[in-house]
Structure 1
Amino acid sequence: MSHAPAPAPAHPAPTPVVELWNATKAYPGGVHALRGVNLTVDAGELLAVVGPSGSGKSTMLHVMGTLDKPTSGTVRIAGHEVSALSDNRLSALRARHIGFVFQHFHLAAGRDAVDNVADGLLYAGVPLRERRARARAALARVRLDHRGSHRPHQLSGGEKQRVAIARALVGEPLLLLADEPTGALDTASGEIVMELLHELNAMGTTICVITHDNEIANSLPRRVRFKDGEIVADERPDSREDGVTS
């Protein structure tokens, strides 16, 4: 008697890189920077968190980057619930899974590009020779391998930001958080940086750009719009506007 073959086991859905469920952030004096925010970011996404000053997007950066914990609600990064982690484990999670790019680069003036990038691995227990080898590979990814021996004062603004991006990528994080990455750059340099972010995303890096610039936001495939601590729209190419209630 023949039996039908057993169905193949279903593959579990991949764990989202970021999950926020009803996340709030309140400060003394009754200031609510986040009001019941729900957001899921899947691996491989490229999105903007966009809104005017005071909208809550900078608080979102800190919460998504585990630099700050929510007052209430749940935040998971790569499946790990942030509130359940000790400070040491939280630091390890951040070092392993999250890369940061800031508007003003934060490069060490007395160190060349290779060592500035290698510093991104300082807390990962990687030996110096390997740190530098991986730093040179990361600089090649941002097309700056020919500038590895140059110090920040010898680099243009766009090159400094690309060094900062290489530093954020050297640990191969799941998530790259870019806070106003073109804010200190001229238009041409800013366009190069945005092209680079698109290229890195095409190679698999999950990238979230925090910005007040609607032109930049509109160039990305997903836009999460903030106002008064709430998500007021979540726009994707396959849906003109996906309203999100917070």
Structure 2
Amino acid sequence: MNRPPNEPARAGGPYVVELREVTRTYGGVRALRGVDLLVEQGELVAVAGPSGSGKSTMLHLIGTLDRPTTGTVRIAGHDVPGLSDRELSALRARHLGFVFQQFHLAPGVAALDNVADGLLYAGVPLRARRERAAAALERVGLGHRLGHRPHQLSGGEQQRVAVARAVAGDPPLLLADEPTGNLDSAAGTEVLAVLRDLHASGTTILVITHDAEIAAWCPRQVRVRDGRIAGDDGPGSGRRPPGAVPATAKGASR
């Protein structure tokens, strides 16, 4: 089987995300207690719950930033617990995109290169990185801001640059952790509109949020409480279009 260097073998299966009987324990504290979650390609899913519910732990496991104590975690068909650190890095580089509450843009660096630098670990040559970065910025409505530096962009535009960086490598899965948390209402609405358009184009998106309004906007809601799944509309239900973008979308800064 031909695959890029360090790319782990794929186990197969129809799910972008597959968690089965997953637990995670930290120092005797059980953060997750037998979680089952299946996400199909093309879904837009909210993972919602209050602080301490376990949703951030789920994000770390799905994002391959942590390993489960017990249970099965497969991302894009790859069995995460059995991978080496190098294989995990390759999996993240080629299959996952991350958007966080903080923008994490390099100050003094143009939007084009902030996005292009996100492709370094995928082994993409410089010219191709910049071509993909320009296309990604165009995709999020910032084709006219390629040369602008972070201080020249609004908060909403900076978060859209962060989204462009996350999708420049065309990952099958985008993880958005409180993506409107540092934004005002108008900018938050702007970012959700970008996520809606990415979902419409086929990107699988998980939005981690404590905001009930944003969770309700997503076609599928996975509700987490006390380390367990308290409610879930089920795999495939997140393929339908999302609701209207909330007019007052805000995140954790409220």
TM-score surpassing 0.5? Answer: yes
CA apart distance, 1:38: 0.2
Within 5 Å, give how 1:90-105 maps onto structure 2: 90-105=88-103
Take 1:190 and 1:182, find their aligned partners in 2: how far apart are those partners?
5
Residue 116 of structure 1: aligned partner: 114
Provide the alpha-carbon RMSD of the alignment.
Answer: 1.3
Q: Equivalent residue for 1:32?
A: 30
1:108 positional shift: 0.5
Q: What is the distance in 2 between the residues matched to 1:83 and 1:56?
A: 19
Number of the residue aligned with 1:134: 132
- Alignment: residue pair count: 225
Residue 226 of structure 1 aligns to a residue whose secondary structure is strand
Cα deviation, residue 15, structure 1? 2.0
- The structure that has the greater radius of gyration is 1
8 Å Cα contact 2:13-2:77 kept in structure 1: no
**Number of the residue aligned with 2:187:** 189
Q: Does 1:107 find its partner at 2:105? A: yes
TM-score by length of 2: 0.86
Residue 161 (1) aligns with residue 171 (2): no
In structure 2, runs of 5+ residues without a counterpart are 1-11, 238-254
Please give the TM-score of this superposition, normalised by the length of structure 1. Answer: 0.89
Instruction: Compare 94-103 and 13-22 and name the one that shifted more.
Output: 13-22
Shift of 1:14: 6.0
Match of 1:3 in 2: none
Secondary structure, aligned partner of 2:144 = helix
Structure 1: runs of 5+ lacking an equivalent? 1-12, 239-246
The list of structure 1 runs, each at least 4 consecutive aligned residues, that deviate by more than 3 angstroms after superposition, is none
Shift of 1:82: 0.4
1:131: Cα distance to partner?
A: 0.5
| Contact 2:20/2:71, CA 8 A, preserved across alignment | yes
Contact 2:93–2:121 (Cα < 8 Å) also in 1: yes
In structure 2, the residue matched to 1:198 is 196
* Higher deviation after alignment, 203-212 or 122-131: 122-131
Q: In structure 2, what is the Cα distance between the partners aligned to 1:101 and 1:233?
A: 24
- Answering whether residue 124 of structure 2 is matched by residue 152 of structure 1, we say no
Aligned: 1:21 with 2:20: yes
* Alignment-mate amino acid for residue 91 of structure 2: L
1:54 to 30, 34, 52: 52
Q: What CA deviation, in whole Å up to 9, does each residue of 1:118-160 have, x standing for no partner?
A: 0110111111111011100000000001011011011100000
**Structure 1: how far apart are the matches of 2:116 and 2:198?**
19
Identity %: 68
